[in-house]
Every structure is written in C-alpha cells, then in structure tokens.
Structure 1
Amino acid sequence: MFRSHASVATFRQLVEINTKHQLFAIWKLTTVKRIVGSMRWESSIRPAPLLTATPVRTLVDEQTCIQGSFLPSNHPVTVCARLRSDEGDLWQSFAHYNTNSSGTFNLNSDHSIGGSYSGCEPMGLFWSMQPAPGEREGLRLRKKCVESPYTVHISLLEGHVSPNQDAGKELAAVTAERWYMSPGVKRQEIRQNGLVGTLFIPPGPGPFPAMLDMWGMGGGLPEYRSSLFASRGYASFCLAYVGHKDLPGPSNTLNVRDSYFKAAFQFLQDHSQIAANRIGIVGLSYGCYLALHTGTLPGVKPACLIGINGPVGSSRELLHVNVTTKETHQDQVFWSFDDQGYVIFKQTSLPTNLHPDNIVKLEEITCPLMYIVGEDDLSASSIENADLIEKTLRAAGKSHLFTRLSYPSAGHLIEPPYSPMSRASFWVIKPKKLMNLWGGHPAPHAAAQEDAWRKMLAFMELSLRR
C-alpha cells in the first residue's frame, strides 16, 4: 500500500519528535562533566550498595581487606561479622563507620568510631569477636577441626546500630573463609610407641624443618597452631601429654615421663620428610616449661626453642625424676581469686614457688631461645620467668642465644594473629565450675599476637632454614 507525500511527511515529523523526546529523557538521566582532559558520565541511578572482602579465602594469619561502596556520601553504616564455632556457638563483632564523599569506606584506612573496637584496625572485626548475647558463658574460641574453615558472614547495616538491639536494614553482605590448613598439607593422627599427637606435613617432598608443638595444662590436643606452621612450610607435631583419652592414667594427672618427650623428638628426627638437624620446640604456658625441659634432656638437640608465657619449672611435686606429677590441683596453695571468683594462677609459677629440683637447667641450653611475654599475664609469672632466663644465660655467657619479646597489656594466651582474645574462660566444669583469668586487653593483645607471630616465623626461618 502506498502513502501520499503528505502522510509520509507527517510520519517523519512524528519520528523526529519522538526521537527528541527520547534524547531529552536520556539527557535528564545523565550529565556530562569535563574533568582535566577526560569525560565522566554520572548517573542519577545509584548501583546497589556493595560490600567486598578481598581475598575471601585466606589463612587465619593473613589479612582480608573489607570495603563498602556505592553508598551515600558521609553516611553512617555498621559492619557486623558473625561465625559459628565448631561447637555451634555464635561469635560476633561490629563497628561503626562513616562513608567518605565518594560514598565508600575501607577498613584498611578508615577509623571505626564505635562498636567492638575503635580506630583504624583492618582486622578488628576478627580479633574483637565475642560470644553473642545468650550464648554459653566461659567460652574460648578454639578451632577443633582444622580441615574446615571458619566461615565468617560479614554484613553491612544501615546507620550506626547495635546488632544486639536493633539489627537495622542489611544493605549488603559477603562471606569470608578463614583457614588454618592450606591445600596440600597432610594431617596424620599419631598413635604409636605410646605417643599421642597429630603430625602435619607441608606439600612437597621435603625434607622440611619441623617443630614439636606443646600447649598447656588445659590438656587435649589443640592442632591449629601446628596446622598453621605446616601451611607456612614447617612440619609440625602437636603432642598431647595430659587430659587426652588416649593417654594413660587419670585425665587430671600428668602421667608421661621424660622418655615420652624424647620419643616425640626422635619421632620427628626419624621421619623421612623431616630434616633431622632442623627441629625446634615450642610451648605455651606449662608447655613452655616442657619445651625448655625437653630441650635440655640428654640426647635431645633442638635447633631452636620458643616459650610463650610459661614457667621455667613446676610447682608440682615430682613422683620420680621426670615430669610425672601428682594431681594438677595440688598447687592450690598459690591460687588467688578476683572479685568475681575467677581463679588467678599467676603466683603458681613465680620462680620462688617452683621446686628447686624441678627448675630447668637453663645454663645447658645450646640453641637460640625466644621467650614471649604478655605483661598483663594473669595465669603465669611470665615477666619474672623471663628475667630468670635472661639472668641465667648471661651468667653462663650465652646472652647471644636469648631473644625476649615483651608486650604491655597483652595476656596469657598469645595465639596466631587475629584470634579473639578471651580474658577469662572455663578451666574446668566438673565436678565444679572454675573460671580462669588469663588477662590481656583486646587491642594491645591483638597487636601482640600479630607482631609475635611475625617475629616467631622470622626466628624459625633464621634458626631452621639457614
């Protein structure tokens, strides 16, 4: 069908008018600004708020950069982090931030002005975590299964709010994974020749430098430090010595002897993937005493020793000439209690309260020794023990072997970086609940953990790889 010239002209006019309307609508939505030789288009349609964690999958001693964008400028927001422990308990933290003129914020450079922490703390959401209201009392966050990560849900909330009182509107969210065990690390439970422990081997053929890893009288078999050592290239044997079902005798009694610790060291020396002359020993609390004690046993020649907030001897009476002791509650004469009834073990490990026959022969140490002190340690007399080590080694002409790290306001449990601090937690629950006061204040304790871990790895690198 043909149109007349008039109808064709009318059609073209309508098309031109419609096109002008469309261009006008587009122009209303966007404006053009000249910026020093470049063009920038600004849309009045704002993208949805975005929260990122980079990288989203890391080892626990690595930082994650958390930032928010596409928000109104100079706007109040709250960032909240939550995770479930392996036992199912909810832990959380939160912090208040204000966006900048571009509508963004970055935990690496911006300051929290309230919440679980304040100031510029890139990893504050992680180290400031505490049990959520309503959770069990006396909790301490410790990884039970190192073959799975902590899954941390991080949410961005509207305004400065407390997630415990007013959850606020969730604007965005991201999930981060925090691992103790990197891909390729091998985990092997060891139950042989009377030994009870877990061996972690890094990826590759080896031979690797190694650490014999011992914790305190809380007992059991915490694996997370050893698995992290292996993730950093060191084989590590986490050794149980008290409070484990596979050990002999009552759980509250140390029933293993010197031969047990010598066998553990020998086990590492004999392993085909471990360098026999590059083995160190690390211990925290009573494990510090055992590390020093084992390192001076005949036939044991460690390449380095690391002690964290522990004594140089034991106040417990020895049943034989070894480390076998009577019940762990025998030294209650040295206990004290605060106003809340929390027990303070600090006096138990004062050098003057140690059995003279049970003090490590520190002058016999022949390898580099690093001793880490939390100056607010309420569970061990760490400062006094460090002083004794330093004095003894100086008198023996071995000052060059000693490295002392000391941290004001840090408590007893100096653990891998970004671990939440527990100032107090349950020591025992049965037959009677007993809360132990560890000491420490969150921000300086977190700084101590980060610095001590970095320097400890450098010390191991120098002692075990060169």
Structure 2
Amino acid sequence: MFQLTANPASALVDEPVHIQVTGLSPLQMVTLVASLKDDKGSLYQSRAFYRANEAGELDLKQAPALGGYFTGVHPMGLIWSLKSEKAFERLIKRDVMTTPYRITLDLYDSVYLQKSDKVQPKASQVVQRWFSSPEMQRVQIREGRVRGALFFPPGEGPFPGLIDLFGGIGGLVEYRASLLAARGFAVLALAYFAYDDLPEQLQEVDLEYFEEAANLLLAHPKIQKPGIGVISVSKGAEIGLAMACYLKQVAATVCINGSNAIFDFPLRYRDLVITPIPSFPERMEVDIMGAVRLRHYKGDPRDELNQQSVLPVEKAQGAILFIIGEDDECFNSKEYAEQALEQLQRHGRSSGRMLAYPGTGHLIELHYGPLCYASWSRGLFRPLLWGGEPAAQAAAQEHAWGEIQKFFRQHLVRSRSTL
C-alpha cells in the first residue's frame, strides 16, 4: 500500500520538509504534485517525476527528479517551484498570524502530466507552512505619523530591533517581519504609502517619517539599545540606505536589490533636499511575455550631473550588507552596490559587504519561497519583469536568509556591548 509522508507536517515556512514514499513497486515511476491556494484563492501548483528504488521506496533527499518543473536532487523542489495558474501573480501571505499556507502533496502512479478530475491520487498529505510561532505577538502601530505592525517573539526581551521596508508594492507587507520575529527579532513592518491615512501614491520620501519610526521602536522597553537594524528591498532599499547614511539610530542595514542614489522622487530630511536622478521611459523594454524590463530605465549615478543625488554612504555609522541578484531585470542593482562599496573604500571605510547571486532576480524572498519572474505592480500599465531562474533563485534565497540573520545578530549584539 502506498504511503506518502512529509515531516514535519506543520512548521515555519523556512524549515525543510522531508518527503518520502513507501509501498511502491521496485523502480516504479510516479508523479508528485504540490498544490497551494493563496489568501485570495489563487491556485499554485508544481509537479515532478520520480523513479522508486529497488526496495520500492522514494526519498526526496536522495532521489533526483527526472522531469516536471525541475530536475535533479532538490528535497524542497516541489515547494520552491510552485507556479500560479494565472499569469503575473505574486505569492504574498497577508494573514500571517492565524492561518498557514496549506500545501497538498498528491502521489500519482506513473507519469501524470496534467490535472484531471478522473485521475485520483494514490496517496495525499497536507503540509502546513506557518509565518508565525506560538505566543508570538503582533501589535498594530498607529502612533504619531507611524503606521505599521510590530512583531515580538515570545518572552520579555530585550530583542534586537528591526524595521522592515518593502518597495513599490506599497501598503503594509508583514510576512518577512513575522518570520524574523519567529527567529528572535522584534520587527516593525513599516508602511510608508498606500496604507491607512498615508499618501496613496509616493511623491517624495520624507526621511523624518522613518526617523520617527526608528525612535518609536527604540523607545519600546522590549527593544535592545542603542541601535536598530533595517531590512529593505527595491525602493525600500534605497530608503534603507538613506536611513543608514543620515540616522544615528541605524546600526546595521540590509539592502536587497536597491540603489546607491535617489531615484524617481525627492528625498527630504530636515533642511536637506536630494533631487532624484532622471529616468528615461524610452529605455523601457518589453519582453516576449509582455512584461516591462526597467534595468536600463534609470539614469547613471556616475554621470557628473547626477552626483548630487548619490547617497553619502561614507557617513553610515553601521554595517551595510548588499544582497544582489545578478539576474535582476528591474534595477541595475549589482552596479549600484559596487559603486557604494567603492565609495566606502575611497573614504577608508570597510563597513560594507556584498553577496551577489547568479541566476537570481529582483525579488529575493524568504527561504523556500517560489520564484516570481514577473508580476503586476502598482501604477504600471504592464507587468514588471523581475528576473531569476527557479533553482538558482532557491539556492540564493536559502543562503541569503541565513546570512541576513547572522548579519543582524553580529552587528546588533555588538552595538549593545558598547554601552
């Protein structure tokens, strides 16, 4: 009798699952299908073909996929290769506290190529993937101008404090903050437009808003003093780098596929106004799927006329980690990070480091998160091309997730010891 097991059946989304099948015939061909419905009801699926060993057993830690959505030995391949039935969808968990993702694993006899109501699986198993841990706390933040959600691990603390910034998606995005809280950090998922009473569209970046958020976080008794970290991606990483440059509260910054200069909208901080580098709409490219490539859309920070828009990274008091996808189709992110590191070196600073990942696109997500190659984005008439190749992206996300946590523990704990 076929038996499909997945252990653990309930775990955090960044934990591995061990998938095995027993009771097969020797060398039998089977198909494994993973299915997930997101919070909106959109269906994501993956499939892979396997051959049992001579004992009629299948262990995804050892057995290579022979075809399907990936090939080779990838124990978590069925999870990171999930794809939406709809074009240009991005998998985003909205309810991070009360419901997990439920992934159904189905086992089919022989090579099963497409869904059919007439073909029933020989065995099934449901796996729950959580974004929060028991006794974790979520606090809605609506204090002064600051809007967001603050996540605390169980216990009294004090905990290393982080601010989490996303980019042009707008609104309040909580899934990374909640998972970092499950890993021992106190994290403020910070909205800065298109949420609550904040502006619907981003027209300028007021750095004093982010300073207010940093002060609010540091004032909490559960937050470790004297400095906080910032984790940021895309437009958020541009803001995160500006925070590192101008705000003394910031002791460590992770910039994921961001820029080293101000683009699109002016940045204001007290009496300072930094005008953005111009963009060139005629440089937009449309790929064969109809998605827009913005990689060459922005002006070059190295041009003499753009120098006043380059962020003074040499003024950053804390460490900076640039995480880069070398297949980023949205930003010229590797060049921006290299320019920032060169600028630090010219000023005798060694506080910056870059991790660059080949075959990896703009949206470097959580460990085991599926690749989003292109998706709709706020305010654009076409989907945005993000880039990336599934297996390379999965490997990069696994490595980067560990490095991000290690970086914050190293630099935020070190800042505490200077008290």
Task: Report the TM-score when normalising by structure 2.
Answer: 0.92
Asked if the contact 1:81–1:94 (Cα under 8 Å) also holds between the matched residues in 2, the reply is yes
* C-alpha separation in 1, matches of 2:297 and 2:341: 20
Deviation at residue 324 of structure 1 after TM alignment: 8.7
Equivalent AA in structure 1 for residue 45 of structure 2: Q
* C-alpha separation in 2, matches of 1:152 and 1:51: 14
Deviation at residue 301 of structure 1 after TM alignment: 2.9
Deviation at residue 317 of structure 1 after TM alignment: 4.7
Between the two proteins, the alignment pairs up a number of residues equal to: 410
Asked if the contact 2:204–2:267 (Cα under 8 Å) also holds between the matched residues in 1, the reply is no
Cα RMSD of the aligned pairs, angstroms, is: 2.3
1:437 aligns with 2:372: no
1:244-393 to 2 correspondences below 5 Å? 244-248=195-199, 251-255=200-204, 257-298=206-247, 300-318=248-266, 332=281, 334-349=283-298, 350-352=300-302, 355-393=306-344
* C-alpha separation in 2, matches of 1:421 and 1:213: 20
Q: Point out the structure with max Rg over C-alpha.
A: 1
Deviates more, 1:328-337 or 1:67-76: 328-337
Asked if the contact 1:343–1:434 (Cα under 8 Å) also holds between the matched residues in 2, the reply is yes
Equivalent AA in structure 2 for residue 269 of structure 1: L
Corresponding residue SS for 1:465? helix
Q: Which residue of 2 aligns with 1:58?
A: 11
Equivalent AA in structure 2 for residue 289 of structure 1: E
Asked if the contact 1:423–1:439 (Cα under 8 Å) also holds between the matched residues in 2, the reply is yes
Change (3 A) 1:234 1:58: same
1:67-216 to 2 correspondences below 5 Å? 67-132=20-85, 136-147=86-97, 148-164=99-115, 168-216=119-167
Asked if the contact 2:205–2:265 (Cα under 8 Å) also holds between the matched residues in 1, the reply is no
Deviates more, 1:320-329 or 1:110-119: 320-329
Asked if the contact 2:227–2:249 (Cα under 8 Å) also holds between the matched residues in 1, the reply is no
Deviation at residue 245 of structure 1 after TM alignment: 3.7
Asked if the contact 2:314–2:347 (Cα under 8 Å) also holds between the matched residues in 1, the reply is yes
Percent identity reads: 35
Equivalent AA in structure 2 for residue 373 of structure 1: I
Change (3 A) 1:324 1:150: farther
Deviation at residue 342 of structure 1 after TM alignment: 1.6
Asked if the contact 1:93–1:128 (Cα under 8 Å) also holds between the matched residues in 2, the reply is yes
Give the unaligned 5+ runs of structure 2.
415-419
* C-alpha separation in 2, matches of 1:91 and 1:72: 30
Change (3 A) 1:317 1:234: closer
Equivalent AA in structure 1 for residue 19 of structure 2: I
Change (3 A) 1:404 1:255: closer
* C-alpha separation in 2, matches of 1:201 and 1:331: 43
Q: Which residue of 2 aligns with 1:456?
A: 404
Change (3 A) 1:330 1:397: closer
* C-alpha separation in 1, matches of 2:187 and 2:373: 28
* C-alpha separation in 2, matches of 1:333 and 1:291: 29
Deviation at residue 255 of structure 1 after TM alignment: 4.9
* C-alpha separation in 1, matches of 2:7 and 2:273: 49
Q: Which residue of 2 aligns with 1:220?
A: 171
Deviation at residue 333 of structure 1 after TM alignment: 5.0
Q: Which residue of 1 aligns with 2:356?
A: 406
Asked if the contact 1:157–1:169 (Cα under 8 Å) also holds between the matched residues in 2, the reply is yes
Asked if the contact 2:245–2:314 (Cα under 8 Å) also holds between the matched residues in 1, the reply is no
Change (3 A) 1:403 1:314: same
Change (3 A) 1:283 1:324: farther
Deviation at residue 116 of structure 1 after TM alignment: 0.9
Instruction: Tell me the alpha carbon deviations over residues 295-315 of structure 1, each in whole angstroms, 9 at most, x when there is no partner.
Output: 2225x2322111000101222
Give the unaligned 5+ runs of structure 1.
1-47
1:243 aligns with 2:194: yes
